[in-house]
A and B are shown apart, each in its own frame.
Chain A
Amino acid sequence: MEGTPSSFFSFTNVAVETRDIVKTFPGVIANDKVSLVVRKGEIHGLLGENGAGKTVLMNILYGLYKPDSGRIFVNGHEVKIDSPATAMKLGIGMVHQHFMLIPSLNVAENIALGREPLKYGIFLDMKKLLHEIREFCSRYKLDVDLNASVYTLPVGVQQRVEILKALYRGANILILDEPTSVLTPQEVGELFRAIRVLKEQGKSIIFITHKLKEALEICDKITVLRSGKVIETVDAGKTSPDELAEMMVGRKVIYTFEKAQAKNDEIVLKVEGVKALDDRKLPALNGATFDVHAYEILGIAGVEGNGQTELFEVLRGLRKIVEGRIYINGVDVTNQPPAKRLKLGFSNIPEDRHKMGLILEFSVEENLILGEHNKSPFVDSLGRLNSKETKSYAEKLIELYAIKTPSKDTITRFLSGGTQQRVVIAREFSRKPKLIVASQPTRGLDVSATEYVRRKLVEMRDQGCAVLLISADLDEIIALSDKIAVMYGGRIVAVKDPKKTNEQELGLLMAGEKIE
């Protein structure tokens, strides 16, 4: 009789339960009669691919979304959760994938936000606050500098702040949404240690992830979601990665990628001792040096925040180099504007296609000619656009790259993420580039879109392109790269042959450990 709401039994060992939750958005059923049971003191994994509905379900539990139908029970009582405030009152706390911290405020202020202790009714009682939080820190063995401004803290520490935040609000049920996506393997270990302490203290944890191995390592029970439905709930000890993978994807997944041997050819991109500052004027790149050859995919492995974004910007000419040089095909492009680099055959897939890749308000056609728009045959000598040429070019690309759009005039904003990425790829790859820099190219894409992008990158490489792949997804790097360069602290700390290394070693390098 688990989960039965009841006034007779004041004790139940179910912390939270959902029954037949349904949630739809225009055009998609995000949760399709999802039922989940999490017991007290249990670490329950919620496993699924991107878009399976995990985050939606948790947002419902946290009061950010309202379900279309279904019931929720907390501690055996049926509840309606209509806001985060209600969720918190019920003891549900959430650590989001994208941290919900205020950068310029300090740790203590962030933790207390919304529940600030007051002096004389309106003033913040910082002394009391610090005292209270320190108590939590010691009880749960979470160590943080309470007076530091959040934006100065490394990601792993910020996550600890998020956890403390939830605990400070009296969370008994902690939802962790993809908590390891921004951590090194070593930081992941620390997180798992912290989770186990929480479990000892009687907390229940819901651990959302798409990484099988992690789920198996830390969770007691695992529920697999696929396309909004619960496939099965299993004991972590009684299943295997293959079994879980099949549940997640619905078919046998092949992890290795077929590709031809790389040829060793001329150097297309040469980066020498590049130093650059980030937006906060702190050093982001500290002497990065590497080469990329034609017919080669060089993967840059590293935890986000080690200078990858700045590296991309510096390569494109969007950020100033303080020291060092960049050569494309032997031409020195250090600090030259992007236009120069485009001329040399440099294409890119930026990590945020909305911010850097596409103009959402432009039509598909207008986006497809971006970058080439100032060349003939699109432009004549008077500076006029030739609509016949642009039209045929756009239509050709739409067909060639199977871009699922109602027409070339559709405003790009209305296309799905995967389709938008195809527009970027179509544009960038059709230029017959000599160099491609792809940054987190499969982020946020579903399985088939991801496979498409990876296939295309390998295709370009086979045609002689030099490909620089920057990705936080270590599996992706290992699968696609001919050479792997590990980035840490704004420098390349190691270059490895994927066939001669493994995740363990790479993880250590990514965390700054030296190996020899």
Chain B
Amino acid sequence: MKKLSENASNKNYEEPKETFGAILAQMKLSSLEILPTLLAIAAAFSAGAVLLLITGYSPIDAYGAMLIGAFGDKFGIGQTLTQATPIIFTGLAFLLASKSGLFNIGIEGQLIVGGFAAAIVGIYFEGLPAFIHVPLALLSGALAGGLWGLIPAILKTKLNAHEVITTMMLSYVASYLTSYLVNYPFKAPGWVAQTTTIAPSAELPRILWPTQLSVAIIIAFLLAIAIHYFLEKTKLGYEIRAVGFSPMVAENNGIDVNRKMILALVISGAIAGMGGAGEIMGVHRRFIDGFSPGYGWDGIAVALVGRLNPIGTIFVAILFGALRSGSMTMTRSVGVPLDIISMLQSLVIICTATPTVFEYFTKRRELK
């Protein structure tokens, strides 16, 4: 009779799954089928429906309005995709850091500084032709975000400071810092806390008039594919994944663990920064204080629900984008407060974090 994994027979408690990456990998492994994800989403929406009922709204009207608003017409679809765009960036950013075992919850801050850097380059480097100006601005956004990821990376690898707290704190710092900058030195004349508009040569062209959808979404798609390729088909990606699953084994086999962690976190920040840049260059065309309604947080949710898979991330990002754009219609027509969205999102995460009842029972049987 075939003897299964040693783990099954003698131990009566589970093997340590130490790294965050390993745990999330388990999620991916057992759920390459989308069924559990769909179940989680369904569960979340059901819970949301209950909440709506309790607070006096009809779930059918609410969800219906959301659907129509999100996908009903060209404007709706454009809005959906526009809202989805920065979330794809932040989702990918979180995903990449996670692959190396690091929990980058400061992507909001990295997004913001990226947006700001792009705005500055967009404003003050006029006279450049668009085909130089645009990449330059995008790059500076990535650089700023990368820098914002470098700081916690070094703190983690050299000083063992937990990246959950440091990235979170830096997120606040980013928020306040840019707020200061846009309220004082870089403020445009007028009441609003924003900069002047960026030069036209730094704008990302819009692709679906009259919506705000810009080329940024194309960049996001390409980035997703690039990341997938990077992780699966390149040496660095392989090493990052190794580090994420088991730093000790990786080190024992010649991989420089610290360097890979730093690399992952920096790239992660850079992606988020690029997302911020895309948002500024494509949608707002100037830096506005508080322009991000929490894209960083959405990114975390999206990456987790998308099972840390770049393609999955895109789909879930579009779902979240639909929630956001549809919610505006919903609020207008049915009157449900906008925050039902963030609740639905967080419910989806919680439902995803909990291994499904099905998985729970199969795991129990294995160990007995």
Contacts and interface: CB of A to CB of B under 8 A. Distances in A.
> A and B: direct contact (Cβ < 8 Å)?
yes
Interface of A: 25-30, 51, 55-56, 59, 64-65, 316, 318, 337-339, 342, 348, 350, 354-362, 366, 370-371, 373-374, 378-379, 383-385, 387, 411, 413-417, 420, 444
Interface stretch (B121-129, B130-138, B245-253): B245-253
A385 B256 CA distance: 18
A55 B10 CA distance: 7
B248 A361 contact: no
B235 A356 contact: no
Contact of A373 (B6, B10, B22, B235): B235
B70 interface: no
Which of B10, B29, B239, B366 is the most central at the interface, judged by chain A CB atoms within 10 Å of its CB? B10
Contacts of B293: none
Given A59-B12, A370-B253, 12 more contacts: A29-B1, A318-B252, A355-B249, A356-B248, A358-B249, A361-B246, A371-B254, A374-B235, A384-B233, A416-B6, A417-B6, A444-B6
30 contacts: A25-B8, A26-B8, A26-B365, A27-B2, A28-B8, A28-B9, A51-B3, A56-B10, A65-B12, A318-B251, A338-B251, A338-B253, A342-B253, A356-B249, A357-B249, A359-B245, A359-B246, A371-B253, A373-B235, A373-B238, A373-B239, A374-B235, A385-B233, A385-B238, A387-B233, A411-B29, A413-B5, A414-B4, A416-B2, A417-B6
A281 to B, nearest CB: 15
A27 B235 contact: no
A28 B253 contact: no
A350 B252 contact: yes
A383 B4 contact: no
A209 B219 CA distance: 64
Nearest 7 CB-CB pairings of A with B = A339-B254, A417-B6, A371-B253, A27-B4, A342-B254, A361-B25, A361-B245
B366 A26 contact: yes
B46 interface: no
Contacts of B248: 318, 355-356
Contacts of B255: 339
Interface in B184-238: 233-236, 238
A374 B253 CA distance: 11
A421 to B, nearest CB: 10
Which of B25, B248, B252 is the most central at the interface, judged by chain A CB atoms within 10 Å of its CB? B252
A362 B245 contact: yes
Contacts of B283: none
A30 B233 contact: no
Which of A65, A371, A415 is the most central at the interface, judged by chain B CB atoms within 10 Å of its CB? A371
B100 to A, nearest CB: 13
B73 interface: no
A338 B29 contact: no
A218 B303 CA distance: 60
Given A362-B242, A411-B29, A64 B12 contact: yes
Given A25-B368, A361-B29, A384-B234, A338 B242 contact: no
Contacts of B234: 383-385
B252 A30 contact: no
Given A55-B10, A361-B22, A384-B233, A28 B246 contact: no
A374 B5 contact: no
A56 B6 contact: no
Contacts of A354: 15
Nearest to A444: B6
A416 B4 contact: yes
B254 A338 contact: yes
B12 to A, nearest CB: 5
Nearest to A404: B2
Contacts of B245: 359-362
A339 B22 CA distance: 23
Nearest to A380: B235
B238 A366 contact: yes
Contact of B250 (A348, A359, A383, A411): A359
Nearest to B232: A385
Contact of B4 (A26, A361, A370, A371): A26
A28 B249 contact: no
Nearest to B13: A64
A355 B3 CA distance: 21
A440 to B, nearest CB: 15
Contact of A27 (B1, B15, B25, B236): B1
B2 to A, nearest CB: 5
B125 to A, nearest CB: 31
A442 to B, nearest CB: 13
Contacts of B10: 55-56
B252 A348 contact: yes
Interface in B234-292: 234-236, 238-239, 241-242, 245-246, 248-256
B256 A339 contact: yes
B309 to A, nearest CB: 14
A374 B8 CA distance: 34
A350 B251 CA distance: 13
Nearest to A367: B249
Contacts of A59: 12
Which of B8, B25, B238 is the most central at the interface, judged by chain A CB atoms within 10 Å of its CB? B238
A361 B234 CA distance: 18
A328 to B, nearest CB: 14
Contacts of A359: 242, 245-246, 249-250
A204 B365 CA distance: 34
Which of A30, A416, A420 is the most central at the interface, judged by chain B CB atoms within 10 Å of its CB? A416
Which of A29, A56, A360, A387 is the most central at the interface, judged by chain B CB atoms within 10 Å of its CB? A360
A28 B252 contact: no
A370 B3 contact: no
B363 to A, nearest CB: 12
B12 A25 contact: no
